[in-house]
Chains A and B, each alone.
Chain A
Amino acid sequence: MTFRKYLVLAGITVFSTAGDSLLARGMKQLGSVSLHNIPSLLLAILNPWVAFGIVFLLAFFACYMSALSWADLTYVLPATSLAYVLVALIGHFRLHEAISPTRWVGITLIAAGVGFVAAGPSVTTHPPVENAHMASQATVSHEVES
Chain B
Amino acid sequence: MNDFYAWAAIGLIILASTTGDVLLSHSMKKVGDVGELWKRRGIFAVVGRILTTPTFGLGVMAMSVAFYSLLFGLSWGNLSLVVPASASLTFVANAVAARIFLHERVGRRRWIAALLVAAGVVLMAV
**Residue numbers in B under 8 Å from A120 (CB-CB):** 107, 109-110, 113
Q: Is the CB of A23 within 8 A of B114?
A: no
Q: Give the interface SS of chain B, mostly helix, strand, loop or mixed.
A: helix
What size tier do the contact residues of chain B reach?
A: 35 or more
CB-CB under 8 A for A108 and B75, given A77-B21, A77-B91: no
Asked whether any CB of chain B lies closer than 8 Å to the CB of A32, the reply is yes
Which listed residue (A31, A74, A109) contacts B94, Cβ 8 A? A74
Q: Is the CB of B104 within 8 A of A109?
A: no
CB-CB under 8 A for A84 and B21, given A44-B71, A78-B110, A114-B113: no
CB-CB under 8 A for A33 and B50, given A74-B98, A110-B124: no
Q: Is the CB of B120 within 8 A of A106?
A: yes
Q: Is the CB of A117 within 8 A of B113?
A: yes
Q: Tell me the number of A-to-B contacts counted with CB atoms below 8 Å.
A: 153
Which listed residue (A41, A65, A84, A116) contacts B113, Cβ 8 A? A116
Q: Is the CB of B94 within 8 A of A73?
A: yes
CB-CB under 8 A for A33 and B72, given A68-B28, A106-B124, A113-B113: yes
Interface readout for B89-126 with A: 1 if CB under 8 Å, 0 if not?
00100110011001111110110111111011111111
Q: Is the CB of B121 within 8 A of A81?
A: yes
CB-CB under 8 A for A110 and B71, given A24-B79, A65-B34, A74-B104: no
**Residue numbers in B under 8 Å from A30 (CB-CB):** 75
Q: Is the CB of B124 within 8 A of A84?
A: yes
Interface readout for B80-96 with A: 1 if CB under 8 Å, 0 if not?
00010001000100110
Q: Is the CB of A69 within 8 A of B29?
A: yes
Asked whether any CB of chain A lies closer than 8 Å to the CB of B7, the reply is no
**Residue numbers in B under 8 Å from A84 (CB-CB):** 87, 120-121, 124
CB distance from A83 to the nearest CB of B (A): 9
Asked whether any CB of chain A lies closer than 8 Å to the CB of B74, the reply is yes
**Residue numbers in B under 8 Å from A105 (CB-CB):** 120, 123
Asked whether any CB of chain A lies closer than 8 Å to the CB of B32, the reply is yes
CB distance from B75 to the nearest CB of A (A): 4
A124 CA / B117 CA spacing, docked (Å): 21
Nearest 6 interchain pairs by C-beta: A106-B123, A113-B116, A109-B120, A110-B120, A117-B113, A113-B117
